[in-house]
Amino acid sequence: MKQGFNAGKEIIAEARDWSDLQMDLISLITKKLCDLPDFTRFRTVCKTWSSAPPSGCPPQFPWLLEWQGEEPFTLVLKREQKFYSLFSGETGKIRIDECHCGKEFRGPCQGYLILLQRQGEYSGISLFNPLTKDEISLPPLPFGLHWPVYTNINQTGKEVVVVDQDLFKPGEKGKLGYHRADNNEWIHVEGEFRNCCYSYGMFFSTKAGRETEIYNLTTKKLLHKVPPPEGEIESQGSSVSASVYLVGSSEEILRVSWYMDWNKGRVEESVFHIHRLDIHGAKGHPFWVKISSIDDRMIFLDEFNGFSISAKPFTGFQGNCIYFLHHWLQKLHRYDIKSGIFETVPCPFEECTWFVPSLEQISSSGPAVVTDVPEKVMKVEESAKDAEVE
Whether residues 39 and 63 share a domain: the answer is: no
Residue 13 in any domain: the answer is no
Is the link from the previous residue into 108 a cis peptide, with omega within 30 of 0? yes
Residues 362-385 pLDDT 10s: 765 443 333 344 455 545 555 555
Whether residues 115 and 37 share a domain: the answer is: no
Residues forming beta bridges with residue 309, ordered by sequence position: 298
Which residues span the domain enclosing 161? 59-385
Residues 96-152 pLDDT 10s: 999 888 888 887 888 889 898 877 666 789 999 888 888 989 999 988 887 888 888
Whether residues 30 and 126 share a domain: the answer is: no
Residue 210 in any domain: the answer is yes
Whether residues 264 and 137 share a domain: the answer is: yes
- Least-confidence region, from 71-75, 126-130, 306-310, 319-323: 71-75
For the chain, the maximum distance between any two Cα atoms, rounded to a whole number of angstroms, is 91
Residue 90 in any domain: the answer is yes
Q: What percent of the chain has pLDDT over 90?
A: 33
Domain count, the chain: 2
| Average pLDDT of the segment spanning 324-349 | 88
> What is the model's pLDDT at position 325?
87
What amino acid is encoded at 358 in this protein?
Answer: S
Whether residues 236 and 288 share a domain: the answer is: yes
| pLDDT band with cut points at 50, 70 and 90 for residue 11 | very low
Residue 9 in any domain: the answer is no
DSSP string, 85-125: ETTTTEEEEEE--GGGTT-EE-SSEESBEEEEEEETTEEEE
Residue 7 in any domain: the answer is no
| Separation in Å, CA 64 to CA 165, 205, 244, 323, 347 | 25, 25, 21, 11, 9
> What is the model's pLDDT at position 46?
62
Whether residues 223 and 287 share a domain: the answer is: yes
What amino acid is encoded at 140 in this protein?
Answer: P
Distance of CA 365 to the CA centre of its chain: 23
Whether residues 51 and 191 share a domain: the answer is: no
Model confidence at 254: pLDDT above 70: yes
User: Which of 58, 86, 106 corresponds to the end of one domain?
Assistant: 58
Q: Which of 334, 342, 338, 333 is nearest to 320 (CA)?
A: 338
Residue 134 in any domain: the answer is yes
Torsion over CA: 327, 330, 335, 339 (sign): negative
Model confidence at 352: pLDDT above 60: yes
Residue 390 in any domain: the answer is no
Whether residues 266 and 182 share a domain: the answer is: yes
Whether residues 178 and 296 share a domain: the answer is: yes
Residues forming beta bridges with residue 238, ordered by sequence position: none
Residue 3 in any domain: the answer is no
Whether residues 231 and 348 share a domain: the answer is: yes
| pLDDT band with cut points at 50, 70 and 90 for residue 2 | very low
- Least-confidence region, from 56-60, 187-191, 198-202, 249-253: 56-60
| Average pLDDT of the segment spanning 19-48 | 63
Whether residues 29 and 171 share a domain: the answer is: no
Residues forming beta bridges with residue 199, ordered by sequence position: 202
Whether residues 98 and 30 share a domain: the answer is: no
- Least-confidence region, from 1-5, 262-266, 313-317: 1-5
